[in-house]
Amino acid sequence: METFSLGIAWNWEYDEDFIAGIEYACSKRGLSTCRIVLHNLHDTIRRLYAGEIAFCAFLDRAADDESFSPIMKSLTKSPTRIFNAFDHVEHAVDKATMHLEFITSGLHVPYTIIVSPYNKKKEIELSLSELAMLGRPFIIKPANTTGGGVGVVLGAESLKDVIETRQHHKNDKYLLQETVKPKYLEGNKAWFRVLHAFGEIIPCWWDDVTHIYRRVTIEEERTFRIEALHDVTKSIQKVCKLDFFSSEIVMTGENKFVVVDYVNEVCDMRLQSKHIDGVPDDVVQRIQELIADETKKVTIPVGLVT
């Protein structure tokens, strides 16, 4: 059996730099890697089920592609250390579930109304007074359709918008949310995208309009008293139980930290040096190193149960 330290499944062309950086970080630590992409997918699946190949650790960057699912099914029956365990991902991607569990955990979230799927209940039970509580404009987002803001309406104004939007993903619940307004800290919009990777927390300034990142410095954390971003993110991790994810957190005029985008389980890791709205290169490099370090902890070769 051929055993690799880390298997990486990916299907997005813009992941090339991120994957290459992980491979480089692994190679510096004497770790082997195996790319699983569309052109070798079927052969990899065959080898897995034949017991010819195994992975000590596994990173899934192709969760949105069902053609990769046989690999995921095989690995869930194995001792392989899966970064973002599949059952935890399934739990975390449901925004309605996360919303309720965040509230239970004491996290601040936007005022939200959860609407049942259109195919389950075509008539929407929503009073004008409830709608008024959202304010205008408000946000409409599907509970389970994820990635790049797919299905999200940011400038909703009426019940008509809700009725029309929920028919786009008829089997999905929808969240109707108030628009949270950030305060400004010496000209900086207090809107943050915080990355969590294997216990390390990396806060970044992030603009919800331009999507431009800038890493928060330790001095800025102290100056603006935003160290609580770490505590909020730790609380999020306790709920979602993911190894690697990001969340959007807004500091309001009342100095509350409100989680506005709960859990992004497959983070966009394009380099800022190549894409204006990418992640700062040093942040990407740090996460690549953390993935390699975590892989190194899995030192005993494992066999797969088929």
The number of beta carbons lying within 10 Å of the beta carbon of residue 11 is: 16
Q: Which fold has domain 111-178?
A: Dna Ligase; domain 1 (3.30.1490)
Q: Which fold has domain 2-84+289-297?
A: Rossmann fold (3.40.50)
The number of beta carbons lying within 10 Å of the beta carbon of residue 220 is: 17
Calculate ∠ Cα 107-142-260, nearest 5°: 30
Residue type, 153: V
The sign of the CA dihedral 276, 281, 285, 290 is negative
pLDDT by residue, tens only, the chain of 306 residues? 899 999 999 999 999 999 999 999 999 999 999 999 999 999 999 999 999 999 999 999 998 888 999 998 889 888 999 999 999 999 999 999 999 999 999 999 999 998 888 887 777 777 778 888 888 888 998 888 655 556 688 878 888 888 888 888 888 888 899 999 999 999 999 999 999 999 999 999 999 999 999 999 999 999 999 999 999 999 999 999 999 999 999 999 999 999 999 999 999 999 999 999 999 999 999 999 999 999 999 865 444 433
Helix, strand, or coil (residue 273): coil
Residue 300, φ and ψ in degrees, nearest 5 = -95, 120
In sequence order, the 6+-apart residues with CB closer than 8 A to the CB of 160 are none
**What six digits make up the tokens of 104?**
């239970």
Report the distance separating Cα 241 and Cα 168, nearest Å.
30
In sequence order, the 6+-apart residues with CB closer than 8 A to the CB of 73 are none
